[in-house]
Structure formats: C-alpha cells, structure tokens
Structure 1
Amino acid sequence: MSQLKRNTAVKKGRNQTQGDVLAEKIPLHFKPHEEEMARDIQRESARVWNTVMTIHRLFWFKYGVWIDEAMMKEFLKGRFNVHSQDVQAIIETYYECWERTRKLHEEGHTEWRYPWRLKRFFTSTWKVTGITVEDGYLRLSNGWRKPPLKVKLPERLNGLAIKQVQLVWRRNGYWLHVAVVKPALEKVQGDAVAAIDPGEVHALTLTDGQEALVINGRHLRSLRRLRNKTLRKFQKAISRTKKGSNRRRKLLAAKYRFLNWIGAQISHAEHAVTKMAVDWCLERGIKKVYIGDPQGVRERDCGRHHNQRMGQWSFGRLRDLLEYKLKRHGITLEKIEERGTSGTCPLCGKYTKQAGRIYRCGDRECGFGEVHRDVIGAAGILDLAVNGRFTLGRKLPEMVSYARPVVLAPGQGHNIKAA
C-alpha cells in the first residue's frame, strides 16, 4: 500500500461507520447503449493507467527521478473524461503495484516486473463522492457534463452505506463490485477452541474435543467434475471451428454462459459449507479455531486423475471464506501444520498410512479403529495446537454428526438488470 493511500486509510478509520465492509458482486445486463457507455468508461480508465505508467517511467529514464503519488495526482487533475475519484483510484492502484514489486525486488524476487503493459480497458472505480442512490438506483457519476451510469440496486442493498463501486468485465459480461457497510454482528464471549480438518471428499471436519461435525463435500466434488466434462466437450467443438466464424462465436458464448452458471453454483456451495461450520462454532462459543494446512498433500504425485482433483480442490477459498465469516463474530482462525494428524493413532501414537475413510491402526497389539479418519485428523490438529504434540491415549469426540450443505436448487437466483 502506498504511503498516501495508507494515510488516507488511517483518516477513514477514525470516522469509520460502525459495521463490517463487505463486497457484493452484481451481474449486469446492459442495453446496447449502456454497454457502449461502460466500454467507453473503461477505455478512458485504461488511458489514465497508460498515462500514469508512461510518465512515471519516462521521468526515471530521462531524469533519474521517481514522481511520487501526490505529484502525479496533482499533475493529472482534470485531464480525463471520467470522475476525478476514478483517476485517483487508478493512480493509487499503480503505485501500490509498483511499491509491492519494489519490495519483492529487495527480498530477492527479481523475476517480478514493474507495471509495463499498456491496457485497452481497465476496471473503473467510484468512491463515495461519485456515488448517489436515488429511488433504488445506483447513480455513478462520469465527470462534468457526462451522463451518469445508472444501475438498479438489488433489494438486499437498499439502505446500506456504499463505500466504493467497481465496474468489472468478467468473461463475457459486466459485473458491479459494491463495497457496502453491513451491521456488526455480536461477538463470541466464550474461550473454547476448536480444530478443522479440510478434505476433498469431506469438505470440513470440526471438533472441540467433545463433539465433531463432518460436512460432506461430494456436492462440490460433483460440480467440479461436471465443469471438467462439459469444458472438454466445448473445447473439442471449438477446436474444430475457424477463428472468426459464427459457429466459434456461438460456442464461446455458450461456454462462458456455462462457466458463469457453474461458478455461481460452486460459490454457493462453498458459502453453504462455511456457513454450517460458522454456525457450529457459534453454538459452542468457540473463540479460536485452528485449521490444518494440506499443502503437502497437493504436492504428491498420485496419478493424473487424483492430481486433477487435488489441483482443483479449493481449500484456500474455503479457508478465506471461513476467516472473514468467523472474524465478523470475533473468532480468530489460525493455520497449523497438519502433517501426520490423520494417520497417527490417538491410543499408541504409531503412524499408519490410511487407505479408506475409517481409521485402522497398523499396530496389531493396539488394534484401534472404527473411527472416521477425518475425525482423527481434526482431533490431532486440536491436540497439536493445544499441547504442541500428539498425546497418547487422548480422548476422542463422543458424538460425531454428519451433514450435507443445504444449497438452493439451480435457477433460483435473480438477475440484476440495468436501468
């Protein structure tokens, strides 16, 4: 983050509205003239980015001076046909990228390049001064004597304070990313801890030492498989067409429509899984949650089919969703190494590589088994987090519950149309 942007964030923090700032993503269905307006706005935003990058590099190559962010904002004031806040946001984005690259170079990562590529289109940003809400419509100013871009707000956003809006092109259409302030949620007052073992078959397994919840992830798995099989059919058909042909354009449009649909289904399922986990933690007054890091599992070579499943396993996405949802309730999420947690016997401490979903100890004298492997893993993560090691003869959860995420049937979503 640039110094000027950091100072601005500090000033905003002093007068911050009570609540949590969250991002809402709204698909847009523009009329032809509205789509042309959006395209012109993003072209002008790209011109701002190209100008900032050119001036910044030119002054360094010619005079050996890096222009700072405040000087660049003053120099480009009033020179573009977009709202002044959009110009400032683009300048801040450029300097943030530039400073992040400089820091990486100082750390030895010289393969990273400073911003250099010229853009044809660029994401446009509106801050508070360029946003007006009138009769359920979002009015986005485009500068002096320019017609505004108007979008109908969904009902769930009516009455909420809007901090920032971005116009984003994604695959084959425009989306609006709206940063809104939602009321703060009640914080957990307990001091209990829990652990989560993420999995590809069972999405999340939670335990607090007394109880355990295993959330099935087969719905997510089936959606990814459907995506792979359908994309294969599309790619096979597209490869037989000529570039620029009507057939190719129709196939690409159908492919993007499918990707948008399946992406929404996967995102909805991930939200359903994480909501179940958060609700479980709230019911038990959990204040801190430890989650296993399965990065080592993905690095193993176990054949192309298994490697594909591991590569598309979105445990990082689930962890991010969990982190922000738990944080709203004052619950912290901490990542912990999970090596050996699913294979170490809780009774004798011997490690045995497992092949099925039910744990079986490899020591014949011990003979421990008949417990879900992921429950053993979650209990092991909790043991490592609390005690720093695997304790022999540790007590396992007495009650294990199994649940499937509750998801809406396809086609129950609502399209948001532009004004």
Structure 2
Amino acid sequence: MKARVPWREKKYRPLSFSAKFGWRITPEGRLALSLGRGRGRIVLPLPEVRSRDGRPVSPGDWGEIRLCWDRNGRSWSLHIAYSAPGDALPAPVEGRPTVTVAIDEGVINPMTLAAPLPDGSMKVLVLNGRQGRSVKRYRNKAVARLTSRMSRCKNGSRKHRRLQAAKKQVEAKTERRLHDFDHQVSAKAEKFTREVHETWTEHHQTVSGPETVVGVRLVAGDVRGIEQNTNKKRRASRSTRQQLSQWSRGRQEDFLQYKTGLKLEHISEAHSSQTCPKCNTRTKVRGRDYVCKNKNCGFWCHRDAVGGVNIHTLAVNDGTFVPDPDLRVEVTYRRSQAGWSPLQRSLHAYHQDVLGRAGTGACREERRSAQNRATPASSTAAGVAVDCAALSDDPTTRKGAGRASAHAA
C-alpha cells in the first residue's frame, strides 16, 4: 500500500552484451556490439584493456561488455569484464595456518588495518582520508551554491540550463576523483595484506617446510546500516549525518575483496575503540588519541589503531576481549593518495632556492622527487643549507635552513 508509481521514466539504461553472442571482433579489427536480429550494430574502435599490473588483456579473455551512460559527465563508457590469472590470496582452510587481518573503518580514516607479526608485535596501518573528505566538501559547497542560484531562475530558461550543466559537471568531476580515491585506499590495504601474508609465509616455510601454505582471513567491524534513519532518529548532528550518508565504505570493501580475492567477514565492533587492549579497561575517548585511564597501565595509542587491534582480538577469540599485557604496537600512517602538505611545499621551495643560490651548477629538482628526496650528495646539500643560514641575519631564514638541511640529510 505504500508503494508509489515512478514519477519519472528512466531514459538511459546500461546495455549488456554477452561474450560470443552480444559482441565480436570484426575482420577489420573493430569491436561490433549487436542490438538484435534485424537491427543495425554498433561498431567501435577496438579498445585497449590493461590489467591492474599494466599488462595488456587480449579480447580472448574478455567477458561481458556493458555500454553505460554517465548522466553527469554526458558521455558513454564501456565496462569490460575479463578473466585474469589467479593472483588471489589463499583463503583460510581448516588444518593449515591462517593469519587474520582486522579492519577498522571510519569516516576520517577510511581503513585502519591491524595484523600480528611472527615476533609477537602488532603491525597497524592507518590510511588517512583527508583527500576524500576535501573532495566531498568541495562538491557539497559547489552543488549548494549552484542549487541556490537555480532556485531563483525559471525552470527551462537558458540560465537555468547553464547552471544545471555546471552542476552536473561538478558532480561528474568529483565522482571520478572519489572513485580514484577509493581505489587508492583499497590498493594500499591490499598491499598491506600481501606484505603480512608474505611475512607469515616465510616464517612458516622456515619452520614447517617450503610447501606450507598460509591462509588469510579478512575481518572488518560491522558498521553496515549506520547511515540509515539518522535523520528520523536524530542520532547525530546535521554535518555528521551528511558525512555518514556520503561514506563510500561499501565500494571500498568491494574493491578490496576484488583485489585480494578474499571474502570479507563482519563482526560486531561494540566498544572496540574504548577498551584498552592491554588491561581491558574501558575509557570514553574524546579526540583521536586513546589514553588508558588505568594508572597502572598508561597505554597510549591512536584511537583507530586501538580499534583495529581490538577487532583482531575479537576475531581470533570468538568475540571476546582478551587483554595482552605484553602488547607491542607498530603504527604506520599513510595518505591514501600522494599529496603535498604545507610543510612539504615550504621545504621544497626553500630547497629549490638554496640550489639556485649555491652556484654549483646543481639542477632544480622536480616536484615529484621532493616527497622522498634522496639526493646523490645529501651531505653536500645539507652543508649548503647550513652555509646559507650562516650568511643570513634573519632568524626566520636560519630556522627554515635548519629544517631544510635536516630534510635533505
């Protein structure tokens, strides 16, 4: 009785062309998409398909092809499925060793992965989501501004159409950026999982034999449905509700499952960010740092890292918190996408200025080499920075030169 008739008919639907029947390669080397008997076919130049590792995929390995229309970008695209060599990680099987990788998902940090190492320590990777949040903020502000201007125009007018086209252009641009952002997050999570698997494989092969196979188990905290009914139940503020509704957690999980070839499990993450992993003391956390209120413990760590460690504990102990008094956590922070911080920009600009004033014929470095700079003569670069600082009487210049020399060293 609550169902409603659709008020607008969809004008664009994706067209699916099955392998060996819906599409084929013509003798001229072009791609032909069949629309059925008695109808003309769509003939396109043969696209070049490459796998994730950069290798070309021949049409013999292609599967279903879908022709999709992007209403925001106003363009057509071909989605080609293909079969790739089996590079999936081995799934857990009873009777053989298994390593568990726990994932704590969040809005600020999309994924925090935690896994044990053979030496007994816990390795944690925190992926920062600042780039994705900035893209969403830009989209929300731009769409709100254009929508406000459209509300003052007459529907169908020339200005209204121009504003609507600009709005779709912003949405298409940000969707491409967010799609790439989710790929970057899942790619770094996959790399972490494979590194942990290789470490445990080497360890077990050294102990048990070269033919030992180690399985991998992916477990994530269950936050599915957290964005539903937030407005009705008033469980969060307006800005938080907007962040939850725009959270691309599901797409990141799908990408990670596709790249690793594993099935992602979900378990309850209740109190995982409040419980101390060393003494089981529950502390209400405010901010991004977790400090245990037990004076005899004094455990301190990143809040998301604590959540990842506790999700791993729950996964391997059937949903029970088990304290580890000898816990050692190694936390690594990484950006999801390669980017520049304000400090890196200032250091790079100062480094370029020092090279220009040195007069030694040193060439100016490109921006891409400044993030992890390792110059051929690091000591010389540091010496030049110190000499320039000594010649300057400005205290701010000396401070900047000291930072630049430390960065070059």
- Provide TM-score, normalisation by structure 1: 0.64
Residue type of the partner of 2:14? T
**Aligned-residue offset at 1:295:** 4.3
Q: Let me know the Cα RMSD of the aligned residues.
A: 2.9
Please tell me whether residue 333 in structure 1 is matched to residue 276 in structure 2. Answer: no
Equivalent of 2:168, from 240, 256, 272?
256
Gap change, CA 1:186 and 1:307, over 3 Å in 2? closer
Give the number of equivalent residue pairs.
296
Equivalent of 1:235, from 128, 141, 147?
147
Please tell me whether residue 195 in structure 1 is matched to residue 102 in structure 2. Answer: yes
Alpha-carbon distance in structure 1 between the residues aligned to 2:29 and 2:192: 36
Residue type of the partner of 1:218? R
Any idea what SS the aligned residue of 1:281 has? helix
Residue type of the partner of 1:132? R
Counterpart position of 2:304? 374
Q: Is the 8 A contact 1:167 1:175 kept in 2?
A: yes
Residue type of the partner of 1:346? P
- Provide TM-score, normalisation by structure 2: 0.65
Counterpart position of 2:332? 401
Counterpart position of 1:386? 316
Counterpart position of 1:130? 22
Counterpart position of 2:279? 348
Q: Is the 8 A contact 1:138 1:152 kept in 2?
A: yes
Partner deviation per Cα, 1:299-322 (whole Å, 9 max, x = no partner): 572321222222222222212222
Q: Is the 8 A contact 1:207 1:375 kept in 2?
A: yes
Partner deviation per Cα, 1:326-376 (whole Å, 9 max, x = no partner): 21xxx332111111001011233122221111101234x345232111111
Counterpart position of 1:68? none
Counterpart position of 1:205? 112
Equivalent of 1:177, from 79, 83, 87?
79
Residue type of the partner of 1:290? V
Gap change, CA 1:249 and 1:401, over 3 Å in 2? same
Partner deviation per Cα, 1:45-66 (whole Å, 9 max, x = no partner): xxxxxxxxxxxxxxxxxxxxxx
Query: Larger Rg: 1 or 2?
Result: 2
Alpha-carbon distance in structure 2 between the residues aligned to 1:402 and 1:250: 43
Residue type of the partner of 1:293? D
Any idea what SS the aligned residue of 2:148 has? helix
Q: Where does 1:7-18 land on structure 2 (aligned, <5 Å)?
A: none
Partner deviation per Cα, 1:139-170 (whole Å, 9 max, x = no partner): 11223453321233432255133322223333
Alpha-carbon distance in structure 2 between the residues aligned to 1:249 and 1:401: 48
Q: Is the 8 A contact 1:287 1:332 kept in 2?
A: no
Any idea what SS the aligned residue of 1:302 has? coil
Gap change, CA 1:362 and 1:227, over 3 Å in 2? same
Q: Which moved more, 1:368-377 or 1:300-309?
A: 300-309
Alpha-carbon distance in structure 2 between the residues aligned to 1:393 and 1:119: 57
Please tell me whether residue 147 in structure 1 is matched to residue 30 in structure 2. Answer: no
Gap change, CA 1:297 and 1:397, over 3 Å in 2? farther
**Aligned-residue offset at 1:262:** 0.6
Alpha-carbon distance in structure 1 between the residues aligned to 2:194 and 2:283: 34
Q: Is the 8 A contact 1:379 1:396 kept in 2?
A: no
Alpha-carbon distance in structure 2 between the residues aligned to 1:375 and 1:314: 21
Higher relative contact order (CA 8 A, sep 6+): 1
Structure 2's unaligned 5+ residue stretches are: 51-56, 92-96, 117-121, 198-214, 341-409
Any idea what SS the aligned residue of 1:378 has? helix
Alpha-carbon distance in structure 2 between the residues aligned to 1:271 and 1:355: 30
Partner deviation per Cα, 1:167-191 (whole Å, 9 max, x = no partner): 3333233333322223332544862
Partner deviation per Cα, 1:184-226 (whole Å, 9 max, x = no partner): 3254486211101111111111111321111111111111111
Alpha-carbon distance in structure 2 between the residues aligned to 1:113 and 1:394: 58
Any idea what SS the aligned residue of 2:49 has? helix
Equivalent of 1:304, from 225, 238, 243?
238
Alpha-carbon distance in structure 1 between the residues aligned to 2:38 and 2:225: 57
Alpha-carbon distance in structure 1 between the residues aligned to 2:328 and 2:5: 52
Counterpart position of 1:315? 249
Any idea what SS the aligned residue of 1:125 has? strand
Gap change, CA 1:228 and 1:121, over 3 Å in 2? closer
**Aligned-residue offset at 1:384:** 0.6
Residue type of the partner of 2:249? F
Please tell me whether residue 361 in structure 1 is matched to residue 270 in structure 2. Answer: no
